[in-house]
A and B are shown apart, each in its own frame.
Chain A
Amino acid sequence: MLILSGSNRHWWLIPASLLAGFLWQAWPHSYTVRILAPDAILLATLYWSLRRPQDMSPGVGFIIGLFRDAMYGSLLGQHALSMALVIYLAQLFTQRLRMFAIWQQSAAIGLLAAVYLLTGNWVHLLTHNTNNPASFLWPALTTGLCWPPCYLLLQQLERRSLPRSK
Chain B
Amino acid sequence: MLTEQPEGLVIKPIFTQGPTLASRLLLPALLAITLIGVGYWYPDSLRGVRNQLTDKAAHPLFLLTGFPAQAWSWLDTALSDREALQERNRALEHENLILQRKVLQTASLMAENARLHELLNSTEMFEDAVLVAELLGVSPDPLKQDILLRRGSKHGVFEGQPVLDAYGLVGSVTEVSDETARVLLITDASNAVPIQVNRNGVRGIAEGSGRPDELYIRNLVPTTDIHEGDLIVSSGLGGRYPLGYPVGEVVRIEYDGADSFLRVVIRPTAHLDRSRQFLLLYRPEAKLPITAAPVPPAADTPAANTPAAAPAPEPAAQSGEPVAPRGASNAAPATPAPTKPTHADPVR
Contact = CB atoms under 8 A, between A and B. Distances in A.
Interface in A61-119: 61-62, 65-67, 69-78, 80-81, 84-85, 88, 91-92
A57 B40 CA distance: 26
Given A23-B65, A71-B140, A128-B190, 10 more contacts: A23-B61, A26-B61, A28-B137, A34-B142, A59-B24, A71-B57, A72-B139, A77-B39, A91-B21, A124-B143
A144 interface: no
A71 B136 CA distance: 12
Interface of B: 21-22, 24-25, 27-29, 31-36, 39-40, 46, 49-50, 53-54, 57-58, 61-62, 64-66, 69, 137-144, 146, 174-175, 182, 189-190, 210-212, 273
| Those 3 A-B pairs whose CB atoms lie nearest each other, nearest first | A77-B35, A70-B53, A62-B28
A80 B35 contact: yes
B25 A31 contact: no
Main SS at interface, chain B: helix
Given A26-B137, A28-B65, A75-B36, A67 B28 contact: no
A146 interface: no
Interface stretch (A3-11, A129-137, A148-156): A129-137
Interface residues of A, number: 46
A66 B142 CA distance: 18
Contact of B25 (A26, A85, A123): A85
Contacts, number: 125
B327 to A, nearest CB: 34
A25 interface: yes
A30 B36 contact: no
Given A23-B65, A70-B54, A71-B58, A133 B39 contact: no
Main SS at interface, chain A: helix
Nearest to A78: B36
A47 interface: no
A73 B142 contact: no
